[in-house]
């Protein structure tokens, strides 16, 4: 997304647990939200993942939720195992929210199905669906348009008043944020893409280089139903005893 106006950060604090399901086995995702975040407890119902066997986990730093660690995980039949090396990531200039609005400067929390990648090159390899962009490709971010939060090709011709030029992205990954259904003004054009490591985004998840993102795209396999989870202080418990304790907690 393009950078836009600022908004006052609302404070809240919770400590909650989220159920992850992978191929019939349950794993818990712990999420701790600091008082400086935009996430209120009443806004945060547990998120249950589907049967996907690949996970991109974006864990925002509780002390600075504009920064995050991006890690990749694969389901190994009974547990999640790390896949690629973890990466530093940047998020929206205001952190993370569970109540997104258009151009609010936050990265939306939650779990989303990864759909496809797009970029400036004819191909980058791998099996994830990929689309090369042209100068006529746009992502509509006009909340008043019937085409809001969709990829469109060609001139606006009165169909929208604002849209992102997709050809400006060297490489990006699309996930199904605000798509089923599309809710007007609930934010749009939220991608995983390469971006400067020393700059926040306007809401997207970014990693520092094209090469880092290309490695993730090549790893993603649509037959494994990959998802991306975004949260503050998110982690997958590595110790089975920790998992048992979390399952036993009310």
Which CATH number covers residue 78? 2.40.440.10
186 located within any domain: yes
- Is the residue at 6 inside a domain? no
- Whether residue 147 has pLDDT greater than 80: yes
Please determine, for residue 161, whether its predicted confidence score (pLDDT) is greater than 60: yes
pLDDT digits (tens, 9 = 90+) for 48-82: 445 689 999 999 999 999 999 999 999 988 888 99
Asked whether residue 18 is domain-assigned, the answer is no
30 belongs to a structural domain: no
Number of domains in the chain: 1
pLDDT tens for each residue of 23-55 = 233 344 544 333 333 443 233 334 444 568 999
Q: Is cis: bond before 181, omega within 30 of 0?
A: yes
Q: Over the stretch 172-224, which tens digit does the pLDDT of each residue have?
A: 999 999 999 999 999 999 999 999 999 999 999 999 999 999 999 999 999 99
* Structural domain includes residue 82: yes
Q: Is residue 21 part of a domain?
A: no
Kindly state whether residue 249 falls inside one of the protein's structural domains. no
What is the average pLDDT across 5-10?
28
Check: CB of residue 45 under 8 Å from CB of residue 250: no
Domain that holds residue 70: 52-133+169-231
Q: Give 69-127 pLDDT, tens digit per residue.
A: 999 999 988 888 999 999 999 999 999 999 999 999 999 999 999 999 999 999 999 99
Burial class, 181, CB count within 10 angstroms (exposed 0-12 / middle 13-18 / buried 19+): exposed
pLDDT for position 51: 60
Looking at residue 26, its pLDDT comes to 35
Give yes or no for a contact between 163 and 156, defined as CB atoms under 8 angstroms apart: yes
Contacts with 109 (C-beta within 8 Å, 6 or more apart), sequence order: 39, 44, 96, 97, 98, 230, 231, 232
pLDDT of residue 33: 34
Does the residue 250 lie in any domain? Answer: no
């Amino acid at each position: 997304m393009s950078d836009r106006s600022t908004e006052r950060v609302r404070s809240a604090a919770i400590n909650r647990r989220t159920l992850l399901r992978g191929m019939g086995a349950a794993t818990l995702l712990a999420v701790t939200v600091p008082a400086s975040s935009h996430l209120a407890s009443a806004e945060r119902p547990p998120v249950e993942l589907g049967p996907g066997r690949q996970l991109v986990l974006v864990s925002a730093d509780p002390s600075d939720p504009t920064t995050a660690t991006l890690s990749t995980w694969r389901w190994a039949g009974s547990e999640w195992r790390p896949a690629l090396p973890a990466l530093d990531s940047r998020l929206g200039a205001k952190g993370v929210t569970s109540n997104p609005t258009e151009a609010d400067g936050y990265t939306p929390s939650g779990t989303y199905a990864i759909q496809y990648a797009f970029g400036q090159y004819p191909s980058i390899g791998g099996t994830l669906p990929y689309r090369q962009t042209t100068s006529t490709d746009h992502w509509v971010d006009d909340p008043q348009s019937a085409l809001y939060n969709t990829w469109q090709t060609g001139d606006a011709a009165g169909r929208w008043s604002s849209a992102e030029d997709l050809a400006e992205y060297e490489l990006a990954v699309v996930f199904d944020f605000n798509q089923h259904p599309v809710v007007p003004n609930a934010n749009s054009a939220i991608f995983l893409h390469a971006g400067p490591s020393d700059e926040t985004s306007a809401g997207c998840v970014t990693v520092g280089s094209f090469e880092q993102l290309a490695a993730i795209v090549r790893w993603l396999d649509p037959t494994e139903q990959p998802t991306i989870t975004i949260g503050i202080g998110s982690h997958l418990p590595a110790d089975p005893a920790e998992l048992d304790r979390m399952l036993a907690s009310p």
